[in-house]
């Protein structure tokens, strides 16, 4: 198991170069460091540049985020979309589909699959054995959502960034932060 908390960008890049792989956890920790640092050191930029080069040459391979799916997510979303659409069509209420799905998913068993055949098996099994439970959990999630005041209107939802490949993210990090190290032309 990776222990990345409190690791530096340089150590993470060194580990990725040694292993030949950049895991999603390593990628997330580099992103967290870059997002929370007021500015990055020259060493951190050099390490990110080295990682970018290693990813481009194939010396380091980015491990895909998902090599499996949770079929329960699609079943819950399908149920939640139907129920939310009914409520929103017949009232002035607007519901947060993500909140409802997350609430229901946290109370249901996961149904992971790594192949299409496995996913089809999980779907059929769930439709036969879990459809009533899924509907009940979605109903409870909607009831809870309707009953909850809007405590934090400024909260930000989790969003997948456009161009979410590792190369795009590292490139974006360098562009976002490297401008601080560009030499400023002196007026002569």
pLDDT in tens, 114-171: 888 999 999 999 999 999 999 999 999 999 988 876 666 565 656 655 555 666 666 6
Q: 172 vs 17, which has greater pLDDT?
A: 17
pLDDT value for 1:
39
Q: Are residues 127 and 111 in the same domain?
A: yes
Q: Is residue 105 part of a domain?
A: yes
Q: Provide long-range contacts, Cβ within 8 A and 24+ apart, for 105-113.
A: 105/72, 105/73, 105/76, 107/137, 107/140, 108/72, 108/76, 108/133, 108/134, 108/137, 109/72, 110/70, 110/72, 111/70, 111/71, 111/72, 111/75, 112/68, 112/69, 112/70, 112/71, 113/68, 113/69, 113/71
35 and 88, same domain (yes or no): no
Assess whether 26 and 78 both reside in one domain.
no
Q: Does the pLDDT at position 113 exceed 80?
A: yes
- Residues 60-78 have pLDDT tens digits of 988 877 678 899 999 999 9
Residue 107: domain span: 69-147
Tell me: do 51 and 119 sit in the same domain: no
Same domain? 135 vs 94: yes
Q: How many domains does the chain have?
A: 2
Mean pLDDT of the chain: 82
What mean pLDDT comes out for the span 37-42? 86
Does some domain include residue 21? yes
Confidence band (pLDDT; 50, 70, 90) for 6?
confident
The verdict on residue 132 lying in a domain is: yes
Q: Which of 65, 81, 107 is the last residue of a domain?
A: 65
Enter the pTM of the model.
0.54
| Poorest-pLDDT segment among 38-42, 129-133, 168-172, 173-177 | 173-177
């Amino acid at each position: 198991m990776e222990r990345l908390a409190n690791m530096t960008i340089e150590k993470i890049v060194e580990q990725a170069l040694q292993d030949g792989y950049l895991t999603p956890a390593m990628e997330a920790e580099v992103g967290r460091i870059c997002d929370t640092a007021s500015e990055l050191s020259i060493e951190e930029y050099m390490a990110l540049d080295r990682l970018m080069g290693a990813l481009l040459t194939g010396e380091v391979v980015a491990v895909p985020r998902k090599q499996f799916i949770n079929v329960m997510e699609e079943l819950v979303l399908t149920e939640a979309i139907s129920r939310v659409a009914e409520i929103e069509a017949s009232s002035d209420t607007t519901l947060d589909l993500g909140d409802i799905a997350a609430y229901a998913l946290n109370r249901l068993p996961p149904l992971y699959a790594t192949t299409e055949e496995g996913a089809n098996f999980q779907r059929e099994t769930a439709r036969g054995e879990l459809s009533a439970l899924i509907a009940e959990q979605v109903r409870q999630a909607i009831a809870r959502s309707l009953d909850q005041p809007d405590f934090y209107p400024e909260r930000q939802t989790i969003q997948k960034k456009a161009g979410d490949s590792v190369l795009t993210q590292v490139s974006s990090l360098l562009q976002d932060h490297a401008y601080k190290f560009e030499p400023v032309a002196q007026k002569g």
